[in-house]
């Protein structure tokens, strides 16, 4: 029997590296846990990782800063759009005040009966802080954010789609949707994997915006990763998805910290099937205390370290 545990991480194409580091750490108070490079293509691009206190699967936001290379994307329909992050339900007044103090415009909204704070990443990507109850994940207490307000991790992903029905069909038939589809106004949502936390897919009907770009490009959401427990289960899930006719799915890719397949969904969003394998994990190349302090390269790039570093913008690490 194949199954999926829940969310694993979010990956975004953002603007410049320094503004991205400052936003996730000094504004959102997240932990900086990894500084490496994009493994695909010939152009050196940072790959930066942020998390809650423990770096749990379901808590990690990763970014590719593409502005240095002059590559920009377009937000639109048939594309993942909103980064949904879970915060303690009693902390939203705190977050409104903190964002204002950091010069970040924010708006309080309510969706599915739950209060939220909407804001923008410096590159324009839409972020949403969602108030949640009884989330066992532990927020990071750095950068002045106290424990009672710190971000727990991922709440889910917001996807803009021309046709919501095709994504619901995909979810029900091959992608582990749990329970009924909930609807409000122009948003439908379902939960994937564990119902404990971090696993909502929200579909916003969008027939107004043009098609969003799927390639790498600053200002756009690249993919949402789901957590599989073993490589055997991961391969079985891939086999089932292909067998249902969704054959736009990649071969296995080794990302050092996890191994992954990628599948393009009928709603346009790119989903990743990720496994933190036996030789992986955030601390496979750094000690837990050192996470994020060193510039890490996979073995195949190590001989090019000097050249790669010379082509990347310097980053002042948060402190």
Q: What is the SS3 string spanning the chain?
A: CCCCCEEEEEEEEECCHHHHHHHHHHHCCCEEEEEEECCCCCCCCEEEEEECCCCCCCCEEEEEECHHHCCECCCCECEEEEEEEEEEHHHHHHHHHHHHHCCCCEEEEEECCEEEEEEECCCCCEEEEEEECCCCCCCCCCCCCCHHHCCCEEEEEEEEECCHHHHHHHHHHHCCEEEEEEEECCEEEEEECCCCCCCEEEEEECCCCCECCCCCCECEEEEEEEECCCHHHHHHHHHHHHHCCCCCECCCEECCCCEEEEEECCCCCEEEEEECCCCCCHHHCCCCCCCCCCECCCHHHHHHHHHHHHCCCCCCCCC
Predicted local confidence at residue 300, as pLDDT:
86
pTM as predicted: 0.96
Residue 316 within any structural domain of the chain: no
| Backbone CA torsion sign across 244, 249, 254, 258 | negative
The pLDDT of residue 89 is 92
Within-domain flag for 199: yes
Low-confidence ranges of the chain (pLDDT < 50): none
Phi and psi angles of residue 3, each rounded to the nearest 5 degrees, phi first: -160, 170
Inside any domain, residue 1: no
Evaluate whether residue 43 is within a structural domain. Answer: yes
| Structural domain range at position 95 | 6-310
Q: In sequence order, what are the beta bridge partners of 219?
A: none
Find the CATH number of the domain harbouring 299: 3.10.180.10
pLDDT digits (tens, 9 = 90+) for 190-247: 999 888 888 999 999 999 999 999 999 999 999 999 999 999 999 999 999 999 999 9
Q: Looking at the domain assignment, is residue 60 inside a domain?
A: yes
User: Does residue 212 belong to any structural domain of this protein?
Assistant: yes
- CA–chain centroid gap for 188, Å, is 20
Contact 79, 210 (CB under 8 A): no
Q: Is residue 317 part of a domain?
A: no
The total number of structural domains that make up the chain: 1
Residue 145 in domain: yes
């Amino acid at each position: 029997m194949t199954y999926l545990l829940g969310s694993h991480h979010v990956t975004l194409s953002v603007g410049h590296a320094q503004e991205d580091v400052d936003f996730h750490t000094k504004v959102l108070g997240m932990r900086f846990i990894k500084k490496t490079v994009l493994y695909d293509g010939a152009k050196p691009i940072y790959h930066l990782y942020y998390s809650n206190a423990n770096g749990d699967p379901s808590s990690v936001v990763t970014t590719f800063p593409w502005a240095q290379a002059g590559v920009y994307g377009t937000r639109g329909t048939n594309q993942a759009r909103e980064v949904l992050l879970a915060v303690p339900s009693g902390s939203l007044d705190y977050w409104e005040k903190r964002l204002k103090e950091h010069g970040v415009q924010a708006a309080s909204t309510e969706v599915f009966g739950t209060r939220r704070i909407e804001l923008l990443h410096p590159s324009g990507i839409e972020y949403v802080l969602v108030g949640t109850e009884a989330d066992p994940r532990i927020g990071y207490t750095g950068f002045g954010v106290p424990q009672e307000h710190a971000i727990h991790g991922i709440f889910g992903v917001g996807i803009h789609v021309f046709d919501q029905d095709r994504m619901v069909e995909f979810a029900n038939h091959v992608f582990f949707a749990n329970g009924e589809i909930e609807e409000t106004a122009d948003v439908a949502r379902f939960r994937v994997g564990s119902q404990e936390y971090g696993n909502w897919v929200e579909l916003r009907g969008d027939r107004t915006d043009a098609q969003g770009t799927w390639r790498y490009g600053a200002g756009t959401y690249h993919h949402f990763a789901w957590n599989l427990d073993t490589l055997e289960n991961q391969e079985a899930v891939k086999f089932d998805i292909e067998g249902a006719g969704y054959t736009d799915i990649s071969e296995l890719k080794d990302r050092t910290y996890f191994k992954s397949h990628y599948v393009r969904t009928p709603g346009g969003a790119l989903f990743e099937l990720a496994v933190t394998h036996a030789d992986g994990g955030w601390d496979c190349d750094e000690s837990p205390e050192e996470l994020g302090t060193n510039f890490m390269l996979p073995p195949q790039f190590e001989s090019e370290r000097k050249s790669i570093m010379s082509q990347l913008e310097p980053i002042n690490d948060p402190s």
